[in-house]
Amino acid sequence: MGRVDDLRTFIYRIDAQDRITFVNREWVEFARENEASELTPENVLGQPLQRYISGWETRHLYELIYQCVREKGREVQVHFNCDSPHLRRSFRMRLFPLDRGALEFSIQVLEIKPVLPRPILDNTIEHSAEVVVICSWCKRIRIENGHWVEIADAMTYRALFGAIPPKLTHDVCEDCFSAIRRQLDDP
């Protein structure tokens, strides 16, 4: 496993209507470090969390997770990747039920590994009009025939990352969707 230099825990909460009610200092710092400095408490508190989740499939999966936590009244853990152009970052997200339908999200770093630059993940550079689908959870890219592959393999397969990388749209691959559904279905 790669080194984990970032031992921060990112915490945020939503109310029963899924509006953001709290973000901790570490959450704000992480947003700023990842070119999302507009995600300040002043801008996000009171906003629906779904506003910040890309892709209807991903939003739907989050809604299923919220529903499970609220109905079963127990913690749910899911793993996901939150990669940057130069880092492969694996996280564990723990969701806890709070009073009156509120939820707390506690996100911890599991692994951080440097990777070769992946311009497709760089929001600070120009992207072409071409659009490719990336899994919101594992960060694999969908290629022809619905196969999902790692970004490096997609580069080889489709030569996606020429001088100007394509734009991304989000979905959830079948592997991630099934893994999360299995966890939600566990008693």
Over residues 113-141, the pLDDT tens digits come to: 999 888 888 888 888 888 889 999 999 99
* Any domain includes 2: no
* Any domain includes 1: no
- DSSP H helices, the chain, are 25-33, 41-44, 56-72, 151-158, 174-185
| Whether residue 98 has pLDDT greater than 90 | yes
Domain extent, residue 56, equals 9-185
Beta bridge partners of 48: 19
* Any domain includes 43: yes
| Whether residue 1 has pLDDT greater than 50 | no
CA distance 105 to 13: 6
* Any domain includes 91: yes
* Any domain includes 119: yes
Q: Check which CATH number belongs to the domain holding 75 and give it.
A: 3.30.450.20
Buried b (16+ CB within 10 A) or exposed e, 2-14: eeeebeeebbbbb
Instruction: Kindly report which listed range (21-35, 37-51, 153-167) carries the lowest average pLDDT score.
Output: 153-167
Give the total number of structural domains in the chain.
1
